[in-house]
Copies of this chain bind each other. A is one copy, B any other.
Amino acid sequence: MSFFNEKPVTNADKTFLLLRKDIVEGQIPSGSKLSEAELSTKYAVSRAVVREAISRLESCNIVERKANVGARVVSLSPEGLIELYQVRESLEGMAARLAAKHMSDDEIADLNTLLSKHFEEVKDGDSYYQEAGDVDFHYRIILGSKNNHLISLLTDGIYHLVRMYRVQLGMTGPRVTTAFDEHKHIVQAISNRDGELAEMLMRRHILYSKSNIELKLTSRSQG
């Protein structure tokens, strides 16, 4: 199932979460080597649990591993971010299509409520929206797809990579109001049970987001 409500029970779980947090938030820099012995002392667990934690990070594509050599945190690159967004566009587009078909009326009502709440925040000039609000919005639609493969791929894998890019490249720009309108249209399509339109709008929404980020990246590297 892989809903992130499940609390960590084993030491490997906790170490995995700690490590991921440290990597995603940049305390362990991207591209750096992950020494099993070092992490073992740092987190006060045996090498075996560190190995398992690293192994899971590998399946999230957050670290890369070579046999007999070791694991490194993936290095962030503009190309990598673009590739990531292409996958995201594809999968979240499908999620929106399926959500239009499978979400219950109650879930759609909740989604509209969430949107209204965001509207108030945008109106008041709160930029809180971009951070957690955007995530929450996308997350609900992903769950609404009711497709466990899709849910797992997005929430366990891609989501954290995207966040890693956002945090480490300092993506916290504007694009609040236009994104809100896009969200509104997506919800409308879902409310109308128009899966095809919902997919199209979601894909464009993510494409815009990608373009926006690319713009910042290039302008930064040039000036």
B residues less than 8 Å from A150 (CB atoms): 83, 86-87, 90
What residues make up the interface of A, taking CB atoms closer than 8 Å to B? 9-10, 13, 48, 51-52, 55-56, 58-59, 61, 67-68, 83-84, 86-87, 89-91, 93-94, 98, 147-150, 152-153, 158
A198 to B13, CA, bound (A): 42
Interface of A (DSSP majority class): helix
A83 to B150, CA, bound (A): 8
| Cβ A84 vs Cβ B52 within 8 A | no
How near does chain B come to A124, taking the closest CB pair, in angstroms? 37
| Cβ A67 vs Cβ B9 within 8 A | yes
A9 to B65, CA, bound (A): 13
| Cβ B147 vs Cβ A67 within 8 A | no
A149 to B162, CA, bound (A): 13
> Which chain B residue has the least Cβ–Cβ distance from A85?
B149
| Cβ A94 vs Cβ B87 within 8 A | yes
Select A55's contact among B13, B55, B149, B152, beta carbons within 8 Å.
Answer: B55
> Which chain B residue has the least Cβ–Cβ distance from A51?
B52
Given contacts A55-B55, A59-B59, A90-B93, contact A67 B10 (CB under 8 A): yes
